[in-house]
Amino acid sequence: MFNHHSGVSASPDGAFRAWVGDSMESAYEPDLASEIDSEEEVLADLLGITPPQALRVLKWHKEEAEKLSGAHREQFGHIIASLLTCQNLAVQAQALALCAGLDQLNGRKSQAEIARELGVTRALVSHYVCAFADILGVEVTKYRKSEGSREKFREAQLNRRRGA
């Protein structure tokens, strides 16, 4: 017979929480399902597909990740080579920051401001920004004219040189 004066005191709610906690701990240690299920079985369950289909997804994902990793290493190599071989390291570093969207870090407002501070032309800063944008495969439009506007300017320059 249970003696309610045995020295154990807990509210019914507290006792239930303690019991649930104890039973959950002992029921799932160790978690055998996580030790038994393979990566493709977990993915198959998650996506609602068969394990062979999940294996194909995993293989495809690994190949894509390797391609992307290789492309990133190549881009990084081009950037490092450019920085190591240049005569305008300060300009290139600022241009790379602009290309990466870090232009606001030091309160930079424009390529012209950077050019003035470094004693170079804005065209040189723009040249390096465009070069890094090409390497990184990004489009930097913040400080650039539209492509149509650039084309009109290019045509005007050619016409001026021709004497038209």
Residue 18 domain-assigned (yes or no): no
57-71 pLDDT tens trace:
999 999 999 888 888
- In a 13 Å sphere around the CA of 146, the CA atoms on its Cβ side amount to 3
73 and 96, same domain (yes or no): no
Single out the residue of 73, 74, 75 nearest to residue 133, CA to CA.
75
Give burial (CB, 10 Å; 0-12/13-18/19+) of 71. exposed
Number of compact structural domains in the chain: 2
68 and 95, same domain (yes or no): no
Q: Domain limits at 105?
A: 86-164
Which residue, of 69, 85, 101, is where some domain finishes? 85
Most confident of 30-34, 99-103, 113-117, 136-140: 113-117
112 and 58, same domain (yes or no): no
Residue 23 domain-assigned (yes or no): no
What is the distance between the alpha carbons of residues 12 and 20, in angstroms, rounded to a whole number?
Answer: 12
- In a 13 Å sphere around the CA of 39, the CA atoms on its Cβ side amount to 7
Single out the residue of 101, 96, 94 nearest to residue 116, CA to CA.
94
91 and 81, same domain (yes or no): no
71-123 pLDDT tens trace:
888 888 888 988 888 888 999 998 888 887 776 666 666 888 889 999 999 98
Residue 15 domain-assigned (yes or no): no
Residue 79 domain-assigned (yes or no): yes
